[in-house]
Chain A
Amino acid sequence: DTGVSQDPRHKITKRGQNVTFRCDPISEHNRLYWYRQTLGQGPEFLTYFQNEAQLEKSRLLSDRFSAERPKGSFSTLEIQRTEQGDSAMYLCASSSFGGGGVGDTQYFGPGTRLTVL
């Protein structure tokens, strides 16, 4: 069973450009999460999907950010008009959520490191 994969691993862009990241979760995992991590901090939650439905978005997810999971499998995260403050590691995680108040263990991909010049 392959793990969570993310593409690209690294992205360098100029301020004002749009970027898109892709995440492929562990197969048959129904939940997919996006987090952002900056230097010296733990990952911060951005948004998550259950199947194709986006169930929650953090206030960190400004209007310039959009995420999709069109068929309930892979997901994309797009950042429009990038700013230098968007430079971070963007992490994707997936889980097999069963409900019933049972803890949801998330498995992370390697991340996409974004540098905005």
Chain B
Amino acid sequence: DQQVKQNSPSLSVQEGRISILNCDYTNSMFDYFLWYKKYPAEGPTFLISISSIKDKNEDGRFTVFLNKSAKHLSLHIVPSQPGDSAVYFCAASQASSNTGKLIFGQGTTLQVKP
């Protein structure tokens, strides 16, 4: 039972263009969402998060959008840079239950071409 899904295993974009990574979830109890970036042989690095009381959060080149009715979130990277090439994971939790346990998607590999 995959509660968090990233249906695109890979994405390739040109440097300077926008990268859009998508994530869907099934559990309506999830109320806190995070995006992590992972390079090979390293642990995931936190990028940005969003609470379910918001529909958008922005941090520099990274913006996360949340559509609760569709149970969908997306990460926009503008402009994309070659250093952004990595695996991106979305994760969800039930903050209201104070558990903190994260449920991850399978990841999307982003390649930014110079």
Contact = CB atoms under 8 A, between A and B. Distances in A.
Interface of A: 4, 6, 31, 33, 35, 40-45, 48, 55-56, 91, 93, 95, 97, 99, 101-111, 113
A43 B89 contact: yes
Nearest to B4: A42
Given A42-B107, A48-B101, A103 B51 contact: yes
A33 B100 contact: yes
With most chain B CB atoms within 10 A of its CB, the pick from A91, A104, A110 is: A104
Contacts of B96: 101
A55 B98 CA distance: 11
A104 B106 contact: no
Instruction: From A43, A48, A93, name the one whose CB has the most chain B CB atoms within 10 angstroms.
Output: A43
B85 to A, nearest CB: 18
B43 A109 contact: yes
A108 B36 contact: yes
B80 interface: no
A42 B100 contact: no
Interface residues of B, number: 28
B43 A4 contact: yes
B100 A97 contact: yes
9 contacts: A4-B43, A42-B105, A91-B43, A91-B44, A101-B96, A103-B95, A107-B46, A108-B44, A110-B43
B91 A42 contact: yes
A31 B95 contact: no
Interface in B6-50: 31-32, 34, 36, 41-46, 49
B89 A31 contact: no
Contacts of A105: 34, 46, 49
